[in-house]
Chain A
Amino acid sequence: MKEWTRRSLVLGTAAIAAPVLALGIGKLWCQTNVAQRAQLRGLSSLMTIYPDGEVAAALGERYLRQAGLTALGAFERLQANERLRSAAETGCLIKTMLVAQQACRDDFRSGRFHCIDHWVLAQTELDVAALFTIA
Chain B
Amino acid sequence: MIVDARRLDDTVDVRGSIAIIGGGAAGITLALELAGHFKDVLVLESGAIDLEKETQDLYGGKLLGHYQPDLRTTRLRFLGGTTNHWAGQCPKLDPIDFERLPDRPYSGWPVRYATLAPFYERAYRYCEIEAPNLPDPDAVTSKLLEGSAFRLTEFPFSPPTRFGAHYRSQLSSSDRIKVYLNATVTDIITNDSKRAASSLDVRTLNGRRLTVTAAAYVLCCGGIENARILLNCTREFANGLGNQHDLVGRFFMDHLSTMAGIIVPQIEIYDLGALDQHTGARLDRGGLMNAAETVQQPGRRGCSLLLYLYPVHKLDDVFVQAQSPAYQAFNRLMQYAKRGSLAPAFREHGCTALEEPQAIARVLYDRLSTRFHPPPVKIIYVFMEGEQSPNPASRVTLCDEVDALGMRRAVLDWQIDPIDGSNLYQTAMELARSVGAAGLGRMFVNLERGEELSKVQTCWHHMGTTRMHDDPRRGVVDRHCAVHGLSNFYIAGSSVFPTCGRANPTLTIVALAIRLADHLKLTVKSS
Chain A residues lying within 8 Å of B434, measured Cβ to Cβ, are: 108
Chain B residues lying within 8 Å of A65, measured Cβ to Cβ, are: none
Does A62 sit at the interface, judged by CB under 8 A?
A: no
B444 near A119: Cβ-Cβ < 8 Å: yes
Does A113 sit at the interface, judged by CB under 8 A?
A: yes
Does A16 sit at the interface, judged by CB under 8 A?
A: no
Question: Given contacts A109-B147, A115-B445, is CB(A120)–CB(B433) below 8 Å?
Answer: yes
Does A41 sit at the interface, judged by CB under 8 A?
A: no
B429 near A121: Cβ-Cβ < 8 Å: no
For the complex, give the distance between the alpha carbons of A113 and B429 in Å.
10
Chain A residues lying within 8 Å of B311, measured Cβ to Cβ, are: none
Does A101 sit at the interface, judged by CB under 8 A?
A: yes
For the complex, give the distance between the alpha carbons of A108 and B442 in Å.
11
Chain B residues lying within 8 Å of A113, measured Cβ to Cβ, are: 432-433, 436
Does B437 sit at the interface, judged by CB under 8 A?
A: yes
Chain B residues lying within 8 Å of A108, measured Cβ to Cβ, are: 433-434, 436-437
Which B residues from 425 to 479 make CB contacts under 8 A with A?
429, 432-434, 436-439, 442-446, 448
B442 near A118: Cβ-Cβ < 8 Å: no
Taking the nearest CB of chain A, how far is it from the CB of B505, in angstroms? 32
Does A84 sit at the interface, judged by CB under 8 A?
A: no
For the complex, give the distance between the alpha carbons of A135 and B1 in Å.
83
Does A95 sit at the interface, judged by CB under 8 A?
A: no
For the complex, give the distance between the alpha carbons of A115 and B442 in Å.
11
A118 near B436: Cβ-Cβ < 8 Å: no
Question: Given contacts A105-B436, A105-B437, is CB(A120)–CB(B429) below 8 Å?
Answer: yes
A101 near B433: Cβ-Cβ < 8 Å: no
Taking the nearest CB of chain A, how far is it from the CB of B446, in angstroms? 7
Question: Given contacts A105-B437, A108-B436, A109-B147, is CB(A120)–CB(B442) below 8 Å?
Answer: yes
Fill in one digit per residue for A24-51: 1 if any B CB lies within 8 Å of its CB, else 0.
Answer: 0000000000000000000000000000
Does A64 sit at the interface, judged by CB under 8 A?
A: no
A105 near B261: Cβ-Cβ < 8 Å: no
Fill in one digit per residue for A103-123: 1 if any B CB lies within 8 Å of its CB, else 0.
Answer: 011011101010100111110
Taking the nearest CB of chain B, how far is it from the CB of A132, in angstroms? 18
The answer, among A105, A115, A118, A120, for a CB contact under 8 Å with B439, is: A105
Residues of B within 8 A of A (CB): 147, 261, 266, 429, 432-434, 436-439, 442-446, 448
Chain B residues lying within 8 Å of A107, measured Cβ to Cβ, are: 436
Question: How many inter-chain residue pairs (CB < 8 Å) link A and B?
Answer: 42
Chain B residues lying within 8 Å of A109, measured Cβ to Cβ, are: 147, 437
For the complex, give the distance between the alpha carbons of A101 and B267 in Å.
11
Interface centre among B266, B438, B442, B444 (most CB of A within 10 A): B442
Chain B residues lying within 8 Å of A111, measured Cβ to Cβ, are: 433
Chain B residues lying within 8 Å of A104, measured Cβ to Cβ, are: 436, 439
Fill in one digit per residue for A85-108: 1 if any B CB lies within 8 Å of its CB, else 0.
Answer: 000000000000000010011011
11 residue pairs of the A-B complex, CB under 8 angstroms, read A104-B436, A107-B436, A109-B437, A113-B433, A118-B444, A119-B444, A120-B432, A120-B444, A120-B445, A121-B442, A122-B436
For the complex, give the distance between the alpha carbons of A115 and B433 in Å.
10
6 shortest A-B CB distances, which residue pairs?
A: A108-B436, A120-B432, A108-B437, A109-B437, A105-B439, A108-B433
Taking the nearest CB of chain A, how far is it from the CB of B455, in angstroms? 12
For the complex, give the distance between the alpha carbons of A109 and B261 in Å.
20
A118 near B437: Cβ-Cβ < 8 Å: no
Taking the nearest CB of chain A, how far is it from the CB of B116, in angstroms? 37
For the complex, give the distance between the alpha carbons of A113 and B432 in Å.
10
Taking the nearest CB of chain B, how far is it from the CB of A103, in angstroms? 11
For the complex, give the distance between the alpha carbons of A111 and B169 in Å.
58
For the complex, give the distance between the alpha carbons of A109 and B437 in Å.
5
Chain A residues lying within 8 Å of B432, measured Cβ to Cβ, are: 113, 115, 120
For the complex, give the distance between the alpha carbons of A115 and B443 in Å.
10
Residue of B nearest to A107 (CB): B436
Fill in one digit per residue for A58-72: 1 if any B CB lies within 8 Å of its CB, else 0.
Answer: 000000000000000
A120 near B436: Cβ-Cβ < 8 Å: yes
Taking the nearest CB of chain A, how far is it from the CB of B266, in angstroms? 8
Taking the nearest CB of chain A, how far is it from the CB of B300, in angstroms? 16
Chain B residues lying within 8 Å of A121, measured Cβ to Cβ, are: 436, 442
Residue of A nearest to B447 (CB): A118
5 more CB-based (< 8 A) A-B contacts, given A101-B266, A120-B433 = A107-B436, A119-B442, A119-B443, A120-B429, A120-B443
For the complex, give the distance between the alpha carbons of A121 and B441 in Å.
10
B429 near A118: Cβ-Cβ < 8 Å: no
Residue of B nearest to A102 (CB): B439
Chain A residues lying within 8 Å of B266, measured Cβ to Cβ, are: 101
Taking the nearest CB of chain A, how far is it from the CB of B145, in angstroms? 14
Residue of B nearest to A101 (CB): B439
Chain B residues lying within 8 Å of A119, measured Cβ to Cβ, are: 442-445
